[in-house]
Structure 1
């Protein structure tokens, strides 16, 4: 897979970090949610479960969750090229958290957004990098 987060899925990043709509005159996603406290989300079981259900179309979504869902596939396909540096950091942190602490959820998210496994190797590369 290509670095993208998924790697997002990262999802977790899932988690609302890959934000809003692209601004017409810019090539990056809006930085509207860049100040999102990802640690609060990752460390709150109820909140994290809600985001995961949102991503998997198993529950309702917050505005942040809807925005993430709208962009997660594109982010994976383009190695998060439209993500701000902050969004890339949030995605990496979220993805690492899921892989280490919620591997089944990570697997479900990865399979949901990358059914063919096209981005698998790139996700590993993305989450290991620090660019």
Structure 2
């Protein structure tokens, strides 16, 4: 069974979101997603300064099995990307919720995070797939 930390919120498209103390939101892909993809070999991240709407394509993650789009779980401006993924994309497989984060947003409306799935609801969705 994959890990689904209860303090995070989840998109139905397999991204997670964590509201930080400074009001920013850190985003990555779930343990379920990285497990389904297999060994991650490349990650394309959005550019800092780009404004994303909820549901916009924000990048691509490629594995030995497939390539998959990454979507923005909520609207906001990209304020940081994880530079370590350029040289070590496999970090996503080993630690998807910490060192394997993808990017940070300054949310347009922080309340949007409340509309995302809880860990329990995300697990139920994954069980139905």
* Relative contact order higher in (CA < 8 Å, ≥ 6 apart): 1
Higher helix residue share: 1
Higher strand residue share: 2
TM-score band (shorter)?
A: 0.3 to 0.5
Length-normalised TM-score, structure 1: 0.35
